[in-house]
Amino acid sequence: MLDLESFLTYSTRARTLQSLHNFDEAGITDLELAQFGTFGTTGALRGKIDDFELLERAPFVYSTFEKKASGYHKNLIVHQAEKNLPVPSIGPVQQTKHLTKDEFIWRIHAYLDSQGLCHFCKKACGSAPGTCPGPLDRSIVPIPPSFVAPPKPLDYKRPNPRNDSQSQAGKPTHPPVGSPPTKVAAVAALAEDEMYATLDKAAVSAIQLMDDELELAKTKKKLARTQEKQPEKVAVNYSEDNFFPEMDRAAVAAPEDLDKHLATLRHDGSEELLDDEANHMANLPSLF
């Protein structure tokens, strides 16, 4: 039986050989065929056939044997595939050497000192050593595997923990035990003349034009607001320019001659002529 071959394919080949051998006369029975075929299977499948006594059934039916053996073979393939799956790597396990009790306690204290935390409450309480009001924190301190505790000084004194109001999030206030104090970096002052770039005449002119355009836009905006607030007054101002229609010289001279003629009639005392003249003027067509 091949490695990637199913049991049904293997059994079909065996039945074909049996048919060819028994062409003239029956020489190989179904039980003998099953026994011969069992020897050609894998060790795990032979164990299943023996455990369930598939060859011991009486009367022996080859189709039943073939069905059960095929099911056992499929299950074996599935379990074998699960065993061959790659196991996901969890990552290298950080293994630390065995520490004594004093070394273990010193490692915790050194880490708390590097973070500026109190040994009693394990917080940034700012209390002097031995004066922390508590409460006592007995939880496990999560020390990163990369932290290496320095040797404990002979004259070690517990430093004061940092205060929350003076602390910076994520940054230790106190340097690690045994390391030199940090130095304050000097910051160079910026020259005042470097803050503003030099401008040429073209740049100054462009800026002046921009300022003029801004002032003009502001003026137009104010006029628009005034028109919205006093529409009647604006309408009168606009219409006053065209209140009197334009007249030519002949139209202007005609009223002047009429006034002179009426004045002559009044001077002579001809009231009837004035009435006739008024009626005549009333019947004249309009000048406009």
pLDDT tens digit sequence for 51-75: 999 999 889 999 999 999 999 999 9
Answer with the residue of higher pLDDT: 102 or 189. 102
Euclidean distance between the first and final Cα of the chain, in Å?
A: 125
CB 107 within 8 A of CB 99: yes
Answer with the residue of higher pLDDT: 232 or 227. 227
Q: Which residue has the tokens 């009231």?
A: 271
Give residue 196's pLDDT.
52
Alpha-carbon distance 63 to 57, whole Å? 12
Mean pLDDT calculated for residue range 133-158: 85
Read off the DSSP letter of residue 125: B
CB atoms near residue 34 (< 10 Å): 21
Within 132-230, residue ranges assigned H as helices are: 201-229
Give residue 281's pLDDT.
58
Alpha-carbon distance 88 to 93, whole Å? 14
Give residue 171's pLDDT.
55
Compute the mean pLDDT over every residue in the chain, rounded to the nearest whole number.
74
Alpha-carbon distance 158 to 18, whole Å? 91
Q: For residue 101, what pLDDT band results from cuts at 50, 70 and 90?
A: confident
SS3 163: strand
Give residue 184's pLDDT.
43
Whether residue 114 has pLDDT greater than 80:
yes
Give residue 251's pLDDT.
58
CB 110 within 8 A of CB 178: no
Whether residue 211 has pLDDT greater than 90:
no
Answer with the residue of higher pLDDT: 83 or 278. 83
Within 52-100, residue ranges assigned H as helices are: 62-83
Alpha-carbon distance 254 to 273, whole Å? 19
Lowest model confidence (mean pLDDT) among 39-43, 91-95, 129-133: 91-95
Q: For residue 96, what pLDDT band results from cuts at 50, 70 and 90?
A: low
Residue type, 36: F
Q: Which residue has the tokens 């065993």?
A: 83
* Percentage of the residues of the chain whose pLDDT score is greater than 90: 15
**Residues 6 or more apart whose Cβ sits within 8 Å of residue 62:** 30, 31, 33, 34
Alpha-carbon distance 54 to 63, whole Å? 11
In the beta sheet, which residues pair with residue 171? Answer: 168
CB 265 within 8 A of CB 273: yes
Nearest Cα to Cα of residue 161 among 119, 130, 118, 120: 118
Tens digit of pLDDT for each residue in 152-209? 888 888 888 888 765 455 555 555 555 555 544 444 444 444 555 566 677 777 777 7
Q: What are the residue boundaries of the structural domains of the chain, listed by start?
A: 7-83, 102-181, 201-240, 249-282
